[in-house]
Copies of this chain bind each other. A is one copy, B any other.
Amino acid sequence: MAATKTTIVDVARAAGVSVGTASNVLNKPERVSPATRRRVEQAVERLGFVPNGAARQLRSGNLSAVGAVLLDIRNPFYTDVARGIEDRLDESGHALLVGSSDGDPRREARYLRLFEGQGVSGVIAASVDQDGAVYQELIGRGLNVVLLESQFPDLPISSVRVDNQAGARAAANHLMSLGFKKIVMFNGPHQYRQCAERAAGARQALTAAGLGDALTEVQVGQLNSVGGATAAQAWLAGDPGPSAIFCVNDLVAIGVQRELTAAGGYRPKRFPLVGFDDIDVVADRAVPITSIRQPTYQLGRRAAAMLESMNAGESVEHITFVPELVVRASTRPT
């Protein structure tokens, strides 16, 4: 049924030139005389020729696409990062392959493998892998990798990240400035680098203030609003008094706030609340949530940019952005 695929051979024949020439008008038009070029272009147009990327790639070595493994594409934070990557890639004609690992190292590895096999020209990954063995292999095979929000100290892999500890310290200090001497942190498992680092940052601030170990962690299952709400519900059952709350990310913070509201009206004075990421929606809630702002979109752009410069032979580098506290009503006692 379907028309046999038009190949460059058909185009060449239709234009009365050799395939080499046809290929040249596609890739190095300046080497072809205007007249022939025109003829070939018309043939391309008329036949609806679309070059077969696989063949091109097989011959020339790499795909004009990069792969990204993110934690959860439904989290606005990652969507924004993805958009930053995509926009930067777009400028150089690369496409983006995405996969969500959902925090599962095996899913992460599967995507990496798929991407590699597909011949992507590079990979950007928010890794949840423990030892980075997979990445060691990848770079061993010559693939360019940029780590996002993650890092393997002993591996020569460039990374783009935010200083989680600094952000968490800012959050904790802010909470202490409100007069609280203890902090409850809704946090995910410490296998996630962000979770571990943000907890560590909060601890540092507490310790520096001479408050020893005044950080209590409440485990959340999923790092989203449902996870936050569920954890908050259980926590509230223990009838805690007024508490300063720090959430590992804004989605969790939203869930916690939602639950607190449901349980009888949320008041900043009783439960000052700080999130992390500063995603759009937190600014715009009934009680807007104080958060730690990351240059999300830039994170993506820079990661993509680094990947490109690696192809140009740059050396390994680590970019760390410094996040910023954005104070809102959730920590302004009324």
Residues of A within 8 A of B (CB): 1-3, 5-6, 48, 50-58, 63-65, 73-74, 76, 79-80, 82-83, 86, 95-100, 111, 113-119, 137, 140-142, 225, 254, 258, 280-281, 284-286
- Contact yes or no, B98 A96, CB < 8 A: yes
Once the chains are docked, how many angstroms separate the CA of A150 from the CA of B54?
A: 29
Which listed residue, B50, B115, B284, touches A113 by the CB 8 Å rule? B50
Which listed residue, B56, B96, B225, B286, touches A286 by the CB 8 Å rule? B286
Which listed residue, B2, B74, B98, touches A142 by the CB 8 Å rule? B2
- Contact yes or no, A54 B50, CB < 8 A: no
- Contact yes or no, B53 A140, CB < 8 A: no
- Contact yes or no, B99 A95, CB < 8 A: yes
Once the chains are docked, how many angstroms separate the CA of A95 from the CA of B51?
A: 21
Which listed residue, B2, B52, B141, B280, touches A119 by the CB 8 Å rule? B52
Once the chains are docked, how many angstroms separate the CA of A96 from the CA of B95?
A: 12
Decide: A51 near B96, CB < 8 A? Known: A2-B142, A58-B58, A74-B83: no
- For residue A139, which residue of chain B has the nearest CB? B2
- For residue A6, which residue of chain B has the nearest CB? B141
- Contact yes or no, B2 A140, CB < 8 A: yes
Which residues of B have CB within 8 Å of A54?
53-55, 57-58, 63, 118-119
- Contact yes or no, B111 A3, CB < 8 A: no
- For residue A297, which residue of chain B has the nearest CB? B74
Interface centre among A6, A65, A114, A117 (most CB of B within 10 A): A117
- For residue A118, which residue of chain B has the nearest CB? B53
Once the chains are docked, how many angstroms separate the CA of A57 from the CA of B3?
A: 19
Which residues of B have CB within 8 Å of A76?
74, 76
Which residues of B have CB within 8 Å of A98?
96, 98
Decide: A5 near B50, CB < 8 A? Known: A55-B58, A254-B284: no
- For residue A67, which residue of chain B has the nearest CB? B95
Decide: A116 near B82, CB < 8 A? Known: A1-B142, A141-B2, A280-B225: no
- Contact yes or no, B55 A3, CB < 8 A: no
- Contact yes or no, B52 A58, CB < 8 A: yes
- Contact yes or no, A48 B2, CB < 8 A: no
- For residue A98, which residue of chain B has the nearest CB? B98
The minimal Cβ–Cβ distance linking A219 to chain B, given in whole angstroms, is 23
Which residues of B have CB within 8 Å of A95?
97, 99, 111, 114-115, 118
The minimal Cβ–Cβ distance linking A234 to chain B, given in whole angstroms, is 20
Which listed residue, B1, B52, B140, B284, touches A285 by the CB 8 Å rule? B284
Which residues of B have CB within 8 Å of A83?
73-74, 100
The minimal Cβ–Cβ distance linking A301 to chain B, given in whole angstroms, is 14
